[in-house]
Homo-oligomer: A and B are copies of this chain.
Amino acid sequence: MTDNPTQRPTALDLPQVDPLPEETARYFAICEEKLGLVPNVLRAYAFDIEKLDAFTRLYNDLMLGRSGLSKLEREMIAVAVSSVNRCFYCLVAHGQAVRALSGDPALGEHLAMNYRTAPLPPRQRAMLDFAVKMTEASATIEEPDRDALRAHGFTEREIWDIAAVAAFFNMTNRLASATDMRPNPEYHSQNR
């Protein structure tokens, strides 16, 4: 349970494919170069390249692809959802992303601790309310919940994107907690 970066990235004994396929090695090198680290979630998946690729493809479409939601907004959803699920990995990694993208260290803390305390414009608050309701009680979402987003100007595609990002972190939070995935320790001190 220590954050030693030389350790395996989860509690499961699933060694990385060795050697990594060339394309994966290149992808990890790009991560090192751009982020200064290979996110442990990628190292965790690297025991099976098909699984790694399926995960990164979905991740990259959702978090980096075209969307009416800004990248920061998508990271805000990630943190608010991960806070409800108390996922240590995702709170550390995506909390850092919120701090970096917003330039506002306190915002990352608000969202990780209690998103209701964050000073947000009503549109973003509505977005997070929807994401959190999806996390806590998805079976109770009905048309008025979607209409509340429409009333703030969100388009049908943007509502899909809010739902898809919130849903995605309900997946990764659970996979991370179920496997005791450990975040790269570098995140803790970044953008404070």
Contact = CB atoms under 8 A, between A and B. Distances in A.
Interface of A: 1-3, 11-14, 47-48, 50-51, 53-55, 57-58, 61, 65, 83, 85-88, 91-92, 105-106, 109-110, 112-114, 116-119, 130, 134-135, 138-143, 145-146, 156-157, 159-160, 163-164, 166-168, 170-175, 177-180, 185, 188-189, 192
User: Which label, helix, strand, loop or mixed, suits the secondary structure of the A interface?
Assistant: helix
A175 B164 contact: yes
A167 B157 CA distance: 24
A46 to B, nearest CB: 12
22 contacts: A2-B119, A12-B156, A12-B160, A14-B156, A47-B160, A50-B61, A51-B164, A54-B54, A57-B58, A88-B110, A134-B174, A134-B178, A135-B174, A138-B177, A138-B178, A139-B177, A141-B180, A146-B178, A163-B179, A167-B171, A167-B175, A171-B171
Contact of A116 (B142, B146, B172, B189): B142
Given A87-B138, A139-B87, A171-B167, A159 B12 contact: yes
